[in-house]
Amino acid sequence: MRIAVLCIGNELLMDEGIGPACGRYLATRYEIPACVDVLDRAVMGLAIISDLRTHDVALVLDAVDVPGGVPGTRYSFAPEDVAGSGQIASLHELRFADVLMAAELTGISCEGHCLGIQAENISPSQYVRALTPRAAAAVPLLAAEAARWLRDRTGEPLTDRLAGGDPRRAGQMPPARGARDFSGMPASVGAPEAGEGPSPAGEGADGVRLGPLDVQLPVVYGEPDATVMAGYLRASLDAVGALDVACGEPDSAWGRPAGGRAVLGGCALPPGGEGDAAATDALIARFGLREGAGADGARRLYAIVTPEITDYDCDALIGACVDILGGR
């Protein structure tokens, strides 16, 4: 089975370029198997039929427009779900479902699926090759969803290059890598030592931002936003059983941005013995977490997600929680 990942969008129109940005991130962070081709296709048109001819399945990465949708929200849907019903609107004159139908009329049979991010601005007053902050923050998250989808369809590992090749830590930072501070203050405690951890983002020869291991990051237009990354961290901690949803930061709406920061309540681990207490102390020291007590008097930790926090930093905290929970 051969799979085409079709990255759709005009990169000169801000969030129209979500698809290509996701494709670059996916192809540089994950080990793509030989049966998968990641293709940059600027326009959703009938020319894509030639790609469908040589593949059995097509996964589209694209910007979407959902009425009332919050910018940066991620969607997974079938091509036929993009219709005139007002639920998910295509940003292109031709829908992917139309392309699949035209291909079928020529005798081409290809299955399709779509992953998208709610766009915020696709009509800038001048050409801008960058994404709005919330769209850019969602790119690594959509790429991770695409990697999981591809793993399920191909049976291949799609190893996360930032996980050091260890499939048990897929999607997480290696133990040796550090992370930014989650105290809401400028990074200090828990910052990587010299020569260790993620290198500062730089620019490659083509102007694309490069992260650790030359992962190609989306370029951001405007001030960074913490909302999407706080949601990612909250959902990920919940998935590994390290989130207490009944816990909140005093005088602050749980998970809601406040003063440019997003407060994540209750990234606490369930109470345990002395070993757990020591591990929790180490977690506080490494990541600069804040400490408090819940209504039940139990120990609680809080992470403050600032606009500077990236998915790398969140993955490091998630990985540390997994290590503690797994050691019980």
Query: The whole model's pTM is what?
Result: 0.72
The domain segmentation of the chain, as residue ranges, is 3-154, 169-326
* DSSP per position, 180-211: --SSSSSSBTBPPPTT-SPPPPEE-TTS-EE-
Q: What pLDDT score does 193 carry?
A: 34
* DSSP per position, 262-326: EEE---PPPP--HHHHHHHHHHHHHHT-EEEE-TTS-EEEEEEE-TT--HHHHHHHHHHHHHHHH
38's tokens: 């990641």
Q: What pLDDT score does 168 carry?
A: 42
Q: What pLDDT score does 92 carry?
A: 66
Instruction: Give the separation between CA 151 and CA 146, rounded to whole angstroms.
Output: 9
- How do the residues of the chain divide into helix, strand and coil, expressed in percent and rounded to 5? 35, 20, 45
Q: How would you write the pLDDT of the chain (328 residues) with one tens digit per residue? A: 999 999 999 999 999 999 999 999 999 989 999 999 999 988 878 889 999 999 999 999 999 988 888 999 999 999 888 765 446 666 666 788 889 999 999 999 999 999 999 999 999 999 999 999 889 888 988 999 999 999 999 999 898 876 654 444 444 433 333 445 676 654 433 333 333 333 334 444 455 555 555 778 888 887 777 777 777 777 777 777 776 654 444 434 333 334 444 444 444 444 444 456 777 788 888 888 777 665 666 667 777 777 777 777 888 888 787 777 765 4
Structural domain 3-154, CATH architecture: 3-Layer(aba) Sandwich (3.40)
Q: What pLDDT score does 191 carry?
A: 31
Q: What pLDDT score does 199 carry?
A: 33
Cβ contacts of 132 within 8 Å, gap of 6 or more: 14, 15, 71, 119, 120, 121, 220, 221, 222
What Rg value do the Cα atoms of the chain yield, rounded?
21
Q: What pLDDT score does 172 carry?
A: 43
Instruction: Give the separation between CA 138 and CA 218, rounded to whole angstroms.
Output: 10
Q: What pLDDT score does 175 carry?
A: 36
